[in-house]
Amino acid sequence: MFRNILIVGAGGFLGSVSRYLGQLFVEKVFHSTFPWGTFFVNIVGCFVIGIVYALAEKGNMMNAEWRIFLAVGFCGGFTTFSSFAYNNLTLLKDHAYGAFLFNTFGSVLIGIAVVYAGIIIVRSIV
């Protein structure tokens, strides 16, 4: 268990640093009010997690430690949106349409609402 925690942590470190550098690069290239840096890392993260899971499904192409390092660690540090997208794809493949709709719209709408709630709470206290 501790070994897996270290594997995830190392992947998360590399993913977070990659996200930061990727966002900086994209925002330097595309001057816009649209968050192109975040958009870019979300799309790239989704592509990478798709590759990782496809390779992991083959059984002999990627062991469990590499899958944990890349999918949970690196992609999790790079963007949690990739996990969100993969989970939603899994729900669709399992024909769990209600769960898919709840996860998709609930995560986005409730997520935005609680970000706003956090801001309001801090502003009222501080």
Convert the pLDDT of each residue in 9-45 to its tens digit.
999 999 999 999 999 999 999 988 888 998 999 999 9
How far apart, in whole angstroms, are the C-alpha atoms of residue 2 and residue 10? 12
Domain assignment present for residue 48? The answer is yes
Number of domains in the chain: 1
Domain assignment present for residue 65? The answer is yes
Evaluate the CA torsion angle 56, 62, 65, 66 in order and state its sign. negative
Domain assignment present for residue 124? The answer is no
How far apart, in whole angstroms, are the C-alpha atoms of residue 29 and residue 71? 28
Domain assignment present for residue 62? The answer is yes
Model-level pTM?
0.77
Structure tokens at 86: 């993969």
Domain span at 25: 2-78
Average pLDDT over residues 5-9: 97
